[in-house]
Amino acid sequence: MVKTLLLQGLAILAVAAIAGLLGGAVAAWSALIGGAAYVVPNLLFVLRLRCAVAARETGAVGFMIGEAVKLFAVIVLLLILPRLMEVNWLALIAGLFTVLLANLFALLLKT
């Protein structure tokens, strides 16, 4: 799980650098926001899951509730953050998609 989060972080930084070169500072920050809107709730979910495993309180219901809360947090962040600052929507979506694709690459690297 930690490797996946690191891969997601590196992917966000790469996309933000490319967006910054192509579209300037607003595009770079937008790519970071798009990626962070998924990574931050994902990090909190991983921490919660590790605590549950350590306390031996794991279960399918707890996992599904945690996943639902994570997805709700992603949606809320994607709705709130663009209202707080100017964003480049193409870069924001590119950052978000890159993080989502990093999950697939993490699965490929694991096998």
pLDDT single digits (tens) 46-73: 888 888 877 777 777 778 888 888 899 9
What is the arithmetic mean of pLDDT over 37-51? 86
Distance CA(108)–CA(62), nearest Å, equals 27
Task: Please tell me the pTM assigned to this model.
Answer: 0.82
> Residue 5 pLDDT more than 70?
yes
**Burial class of residue 66, CB neighbours in 10 A (0-12, 13-18, 19+):** middle
As a whole number, mean pLDDT of residues 90-98 equals 93
- Lowest-confidence segment of 19-33, 53-67, 78-92 by average pLDDT: 53-67
| pLDDT greater than 70 at residue 27 | yes
Site of tokens 């709130």: 80
